[in-house]
Amino acid sequence: MVKKKNILWSLVALLLAVLTVLAVFAQSGSISPGQLVRQLKGASKPWLLLAVLCMLGFIFFEGEAVLAIVRHVGYPQRHARGFVYSAADVYFSAITPSATGGQPASAFFMIRDGIPAAVATAALLLNLVAYTLAIVTVGLGMLILFPAAFLRFELPARLLVGIGFVVLIILAVMFYGLLMKGHLLHGIGIRIILLLHRIHLIRHPEKTLKKWNHTVEEYSVCVKMISGSGHLLLRVYLLNLLQRLSQVTITVMLYFSVGGSRRFWTDVWAVQTFSQMGSYCVPIPGGMGVADYLMLNGFSGFLDAGAASSLALLGRGLLFYVCVLVSGITVAVGYLCAKKRK
């Protein structure tokens, strides 16, 4: 059943991606798929390589942040497994509604590697808090340093960015509440177990409740160990900051690869950041449609229609679509290798 749902949402995500790309081509009216391919073939290979490295850095740094947490509480894992945990988050976030599948997928791989569910939950929640704070930090930094790039957006686009910013603040507070208030997580788990019992998916809720109580006790101990280490919290935040900077720098590298002027590289950087923030205003995987609209709208403020469209397509292509493809392959290989090793 779960596999069928994943296939269904993968098809939905693919359809959204195709429609979004077609919409960008239609909006530009001055660039064709063939022209885009020729532009990519003639691009500077060193800059393209840097763009790819930034894309891989986006996956790598999240994995390193999660590894830092689980290692701190006594569960060392290899760097390759951290990359798999992060790739699972990226891939399943992209194919599930409201990106709900990312964290459970990461937890699945962590638990398979012998990390207790309580530790995996605490590590992923802490990383979510740091991840959200990193997005807000970079966004505020860009707004302070390059306000002109934000003001070039049209009013509807600025509103989307503002709504996305508010959503991120709310999410950060929610994640922090779940992380530090174990009783909230405990209560949510009890309600879910009782609901499953009512619809006859769990026959003996007493056993499940007992296991859940034990898990929450382990979780509370883990959170105390984590929250008591300022050095760890700072390291996790900085790793997430590097992850965020890696992501928003991808389009800058692509901009230089196709001969972009140094005059506007900071504008490209800022527009990419604001576009990623604004994509959180809607519960669509990867902000498909919204992020593309914001990038096109922002780039049109200082580039001609053709250049803005091609940069938006190239940026989203590597930043999201290729990244999701690489993550999917990593998840498949990671699953098979872990199964063989077990």
The domain segmentation of the chain, as residue ranges, is 42-179+237-341
Mean pLDDT value across residues 5-16: 52
Mean pLDDT value across residues 107-113: 91
Please tell me the distance from the alpha carbon of residue 243 to that of residue 55, in angstroms, as a whole number. 9
- Measured CA to CA in angstroms, residue 313 lies from 39, 92, 208 at distances of 12, 22, 48
Please tell me the distance from the alpha carbon of residue 297 to that of residue 312, in angstroms, as a whole number. 9
Is pLDDT larger for residue 266 or for residue 287? 266
- Measured CA to CA in angstroms, residue 260 lies from 44, 66, 267, 303 at distances of 11, 36, 12, 10
Q: What is the largest CA-CA distance in the chain?
A: 66
- Measured CA to CA in angstroms, residue 36 lies from 19, 181, 310 at distances of 17, 50, 6
pLDDT in tens, 291-333: 888 998 999 888 888 888 888 888 888 888 888 888 888 998 8
Beta-carbon count within 10 A of 302 CB? 17
Reported confidence tier of residue 2, pLDDT bands at 50, 70, 90: very low
29: pLDDT strictly greater than 50: no
pLDDT of residue 18: 53
pLDDT of residue 24: 45
- Percent of the chain beyond pLDDT 90? 32
Q: For the whole model, what pTM was predicted?
A: 0.80
